[in-house]
Amino acid sequence: MKNPSLSRFIMVSHQDGERVVIRVHYVGKPRIMVEFTPRMDGEGNVTGGTLKRICRENCWDGNAHRVNRLVSQAESFFLRSIGEEQPTHRLKL
């Protein structure tokens, strides 16, 4: 079963000096950003990653259960996207 909310994620990767930073943004509400430190193989391909940081908009009611679910979906989106030859919803800066 496909998850319709996965289409609301976008992955942005850029090089910050010597390290590569990959961020997955959720463009719905609540807005969140999950940053990953990628694991690279010998050929320079991303083979996985470690969740490094989560940023979310300020919210008075907490909404923690929804944010937790979205972080899990962002990680799933990240792992699915690095396995594709031409990933959709990906920007490279």
Instruction: Give the tens place of pLDDT for each residue, 25-79.
Output: 998 888 899 999 888 777 777 778 889 999 987 766 667 788 888 999 998 888 8
Whole-number percent of the chain with pLDDT over 90: 16
> What is the pTM assigned to this prediction?
0.76
DSSP state of 5: G
CA gap 39, 59 in Å, rounded: 32
What is the pLDDT, as a whole number, of residue 66?
Answer: 84
How many other β-carbons are positioned within 10 Å of the β-carbon of residue 38?
A: 18
CA gap 89, 60 in Å, rounded: 30
Q: What is the phi/psi pair of residue 17, to 5°? A: 70, -120
> Does residue 3 register a pLDDT over 80?
no
> Does residue 8 register a pLDDT over 70?
yes
What is the pLDDT, as a whole number, of residue 21?
Answer: 87
